[in-house]
Amino acid sequence: MSEAPPAAPADRVADRYGTRPRRHRRWIPYALGAAVVLAGLIVSYAGYSKFGPKDIEPEQLGYSIVNDSTLDVHFKVTREHPDRPVVCFVRGMDSDQAEVGRREVLIPASTSGTVELTTTVRTTGRPAAGDIYGCSDKVPAYLRVGGR
């Protein structure tokens, strides 16, 4: 009679202690897919909020140097909600691009979505250029009509 071949060490351990039921991990590809989709949505939202259309779009149309301490800046502002007042920060810069003057310009509520303005900026030194630093719908109380 022939003897059975000796069992491999792994088989002996399995015979003695049993084997673990094999788990099916079918959920892993779904979880990874969901994570990729979620990451894509987050990146899309961040990109849209940073580079998408803005509620308030200032555009500089030009500037003229009046004298050694005065600058006129011509600009337009396009806003999504013209019924809300807006404040824009206009500045004058010297030849080294250092700010030498700044002015807050209140653009009151109106029916027109786009408004063109020219404002005068007083400077502490000879201006070389003017620009629009930015605009906001958060108008400070001291600029609002009636201080409200």
Residues 131 and 71 in one domain: yes
Residues 45 and 66 in one domain: no
Is residue 123 predicted with pLDDT exceeding 80? yes
Residues 131 and 72 in one domain: yes
pTM above 0.85, yes or no: no
**Residue 2 falls inside a structural domain:** no
CA dist 64 to 49, 72, 91, 104, 135, Å? 34, 5, 13, 18, 21
Is residue 41 predicted with pLDDT exceeding 70? yes
**Residue 105 falls inside a structural domain:** yes
What per-residue confidence (pLDDT) applies to 6? 63
The CATH number of whichever domain residue 82 belongs to comes to 2.60.40
**Residue 9 falls inside a structural domain:** no
Q: Which residues on adjacent β-strands are paired with residue 102?
A: 91
Residues 99 and 112 in one domain: yes
Residues 120 and 63 in one domain: yes
**Residue 114 falls inside a structural domain:** yes
Residues 64 and 43 in one domain: no
Residues 100 and 116 in one domain: yes
Q: Which residue, 103, 109, 96, is CA-closest to 75? A: 103
Q: Structural domain of residue 129, as residue ranges?
A: 56-136
Residues 32 and 96 in one domain: no
**Residue 123 falls inside a structural domain:** yes
Q: pLDDT (tens digit, 9 = 90+) per residue, 80-106?
A: 999 999 999 999 999 999 999 999 999
Contacts of 80 (CB under 8 A, 6+ apart): 53, 55, 56, 113
In degrees and rounded to multiples of 5, residue 16 shows phi and psi of -75, -45
First and final C-alpha spacing in the chain: 107
**Residue 17 falls inside a structural domain:** no
26 band by pLDDT with thresholds 50, 70 and 90: confident
How many domains in the chain? 2
Please tell me whether residue 147 adopts helix, strand or coil conformation.
helix
Q: Which residues on adjacent β-strands are paired with residue 91?
A: 102, 131
Contacts of 68 (CB under 8 A, 6+ apart): 125, 126
More reliable by pLDDT, 91 or 144: 91
